[in-house]
Amino acid sequence: MVTPTARVLKRFYFIEREIILLQAGWLPGIEHWESKLLIPEMMWESSVLARELRNRVLELRFPERRITVDDEGPLLELVRRCGHSPNSIGAVLTLGEVIKPWLLEAYRRYCSIADLIGDGPTQFFLHHGIADLESQVARLEATAAAGLQAFPAQAEAAQAWCAAVKATFAALSPDLLLAESPPAPAIPAELLALERPFTIARKAVRDPRFRVLEFAWPDRHSPGNPGEGPQLQARQAVHHVNEVWAAEMAAACLYDLAPDAPHEFLDDAARWCYDEIRHCRMGYERLKAWGLKDDEIPLDAFSYDAGSEADSLVRLGIIFYFEATYIHTKSERKEIFGAMGDRLSSHDMDFDWADELIHTHYGKRWLGHFLESAGAGRSVATIKEEARQAVLRQQSRAAAGAKAATEDAARRVLARVLLAVGGEPTVR
């Protein structure tokens, strides 16, 4: 019947939201590169499903427009607790081995008993959700295995945590998610003993297998002529791979602000995060295609860390500030790279530009919204100025030798790019 169906779908919706928040919260604190690249894509897929679930609940309850947690609290608390992993490898491992398979099984069971005619719209989008989850579980399995291998020091605690979460969920059959009354799971002492209360990383963690620097490229500390030819190609690719910071900042904004924001903010922030990791992947693939190994690729956390002492509105301001300042370079470089015959970089810039146009809309819309609801008299201009000051402060904190290390890394990248594309270096 409609009422119990709406109840179950509402439960699914809130579980998806919790899992999105868990992933967003962990993103900046994840060391393992492959996991860092995977999480935003999964978050976005989950957000698409969450939006469908929410819309369907509203349809089934029309004209009621409110969706509240009600007595689903204990179940959601358990899902939230799965984020209290002692380390990031454990968080990724648990997502792939326990949480996502558990939800996948619940969706499969729902589809097996739901009415294809009466509840057809739910069947339609839940089948897409199932396909996404099947793919996510397979990708997580491979990624978590690689993470355990790359970070063996985390393995023992990660596996113990995953085993404790698995034992907890073994008592929580996916069938219980289909019941009219919500399950009220107990949180076992074994889980409490292993958990480390979660806090989001305000300084982003980088995979040490890369060339980790305070400034990924010299223009981070000394903005100037971007150069031309291979220099511009190299610089753009390094900036692209370093957009990992923007994915982390979007995730942090989601984690901080979504719980009290309209649902559409979660939609937009998840998409924003996914787009930025796609830009990061553009750079990564470009550099790899030129023959660079991971340890030759400069990575920093500069722009994310600039927000470490700021509040969530200024963090949103930092990402907005960067987007608005550099958006013109996208279409310009699409033309420049195209004219140079670098079709891949030109293609990347074109798609990047399309995304950035949406992001400036997100930035304006949500900064405006949060300033109106909790801005305490601040304006877009004051937030932008605070964001700019935060970036300048971060620049001024550089350790001795940081700039020289950046120059050295940039020289090496350029040499590799020149080797791949041919040509002489130009003076910056």
Could you list the residues that contact Fe ion (CB under 5 A)? 243, 276, 279, 323, 356, 359
| Residue whose token pair is 């420049």 | 336
Cα-Cα-Cα-Cα dihedral of 311, 312, 315, 319, to 10°?
Answer: -160
The greatest distance separating any two alpha carbons of the chain, rounded to the nearest whole angstrom, comes to: 72
Nearer to Fe ion, 31 or 276 (CB): 276
Token pair in block for residue 97: 């081995």
Shortest distance, position 395 Cβ to Fe ion, whole Å: 20
Buried (b) or exposed (e) across 221-237, using 16+ Cβ within 10 A?
beeeebbebbbbbbbbb
Shortest distance, position 363 Cβ to Fe ion, whole Å: 9
Nearer to Fe ion, 119 or 276 (CB): 276
Nearer to Fe ion, 54 or 279 (CB): 279
Contact 140, 95 (CB under 8 A): yes
CA 426 to CA 346: how far, in whole Å?
20
Shortest distance, position 279 Cβ to Fe ion, whole Å: 4
DSSP letter at 182 equals P
Shortest distance, position 247 Cβ to Fe ion, whole Å: 8
Nearer to Fe ion, 293 or 365 (CB): 365
Nearer to Fe ion, 11 or 279 (CB): 279
Cα-based distances in Å from 88 to 135, 204, 213, 224? 21, 12, 21, 37
Nearer to Fe ion, 17 or 279 (CB): 279
Nearer to Fe ion, 243 or 342 (CB): 243
Nearer to Fe ion, 110 or 265 (CB): 265
Shortest distance, position 336 Cβ to Fe ion, whole Å: 18
Shortest distance, position 151 Cβ to Fe ion, whole Å: 27
Closest C-alpha among 35, 170, 152, 148 to residue 99: 170
CA 6 to CA 271: how far, in whole Å?
26
CA 326 to CA 324: how far, in whole Å?
6
Chain CA centroid to CA 84, Å? 18
| Residue whose token pair is 């100037």 | 224
Nearer to Fe ion, 45 or 275 (CB): 275
Contact 414, 231 (CB under 8 A): yes
Cis peptide preceding 185, ω within 30 of 0: no
Shortest distance, position 353 Cβ to Fe ion, whole Å: 10
Contact 270, 21 (CB under 8 A): no
Closest C-alpha among 104, 125, 134 to residue 57: 125
Shortest distance, position 250 Cβ to Fe ion, whole Å: 8
Token pair in block for residue 188: 């076992």
Shortest distance, position 321 Cβ to Fe ion, whole Å: 11
Token pair in block for residue 391: 């970036």
- Tell me which H or E stretch contains 299: strand 298-299
- Residue 122: CB partners within 8 Å, gap ≥ 6? 5, 9, 56, 110, 114
- Tell me which H or E stretch contains 298: strand 298-299
Shortest distance, position 345 Cβ to Fe ion, whole Å: 14
Nearer to Fe ion, 142 or 358 (CB): 358
| Number of H-type helices and E-type strands within the chain | 16, 2
Nearer to Fe ion, 12 or 320 (CB): 320
Shortest distance, position 251 Cβ to Fe ion, whole Å: 13
